[in-house]
Amino acid sequence: MYIFVCIAALIATVSGNSGYCYGNKNEYVKMSGSCDKYYECIESAEFERTCPDGMYFNPDAPWPQYPCGYPGDVQCTDGVPQAARSTADCPHEYGLFESPYATSTDCGRYRRCVAGVAFEEECPMGLAFNVNKAACDWPSDVASCDAEAFVGFSCPPGSVDENGCDITENFPLPGKCYSFIACHRGNPRLVSCDLGFKFDTSVNRCVNSDLVRTDFQCELRQERPHICNNDIC
């Protein structure tokens, strides 16, 4: 998943024809030795471009899709980035970074930098910010996060089935219609049913909401459902 920012000030110069653009093609071409510089070919005309500080060129981006993305989404294995243009609050002009307000029990906070200006944001419910990935992640995979304290639940030891595969156990949360705890390898994950589903305590999983008899306490709280990613829940 790529995260894009509307940026008006890309560095651009017409560099003439150095052989990267040919045959009346519209495309992007990576500049050798750089993580964030590239050529844009427009009807054989060649333009030298540079992504904003803190973003990398994505060689898989089809023209005219914006080809710059955050390092958490775009890998650079050949070359080096431009020199950082840091500010008092941001190590780079653009990117996702650790928030000074995050703690081991409040791990979902992070800082988004746009043009060197910092904006404090939070991960979706139940996820912690992973500085190493510059992305939201399971709390148990973030070294600085106390997953049990952050989620508010302590799981029993993890178990496996007869084939040696991990068993994920679900546990209800009192008064919650949609949210529940999924214990994976003894680590708690706060997740939620998709829209149209509720957590059924009789089977400990999400089912069609029409089939769940909701208790009075849950109805009274009027809890709103949260949509979770299919690759996580």
Contact partners, residue 20, CB within 8 Å, separation at least 6:
29, 39, 41, 46
CATH top-level class of 11-69: mainly beta
Determine the Cα–Cα distance for residues 206 and 212; give it in Å rounded to an integer: 9
End-to-end CA distance of the chain: 17
Q: CA 211 from chain center: how many Å?
A: 33
Helices and strands per DSSP (H, E), number in the chain:
2, 18
Fold match, 11-69 / 159-221: yes
Q: Residue 216, by phi and psi: left (phi above 0), alpha (psi -120 to 50) or beta?
A: alpha
What is d(CA 169, CA 204) in angstroms, rounded to the nearest whole number?
A: 8
Question: Which architecture does CATH list for 159-221?
Answer: Beta Complex (2.170)
Which of 112, 109, 113, 91 is closest to 100 using CA atoms? Answer: 109
Q: How confident is the prediction along the chain (233 residues), in pLDDT tens digits per residue?
A: 444 444 434 444 444 556 777 766 899 999 999 999 999 999 879 999 999 999 999 999 999 999 999 998 998 888 999 999 999 999 999 999 999 999 999 999 999 999 999 999 999 999 999 999 999 999 999 999 999 999 999 999 988 888 888 889 999 998 888 999 999 999 999 999 998 899 998 899 999 988 887 654 465 444 544 444 434 43
Query: Which residues in 74-106 are b (16+ Cβ under 10 Å) and which e?
Result: bebeeeebbeeeeeeebbbbbbbbebeebeeee
Q: Which sequence spans correspond to the domains of the chain?
A: 11-69, 95-151, 159-221
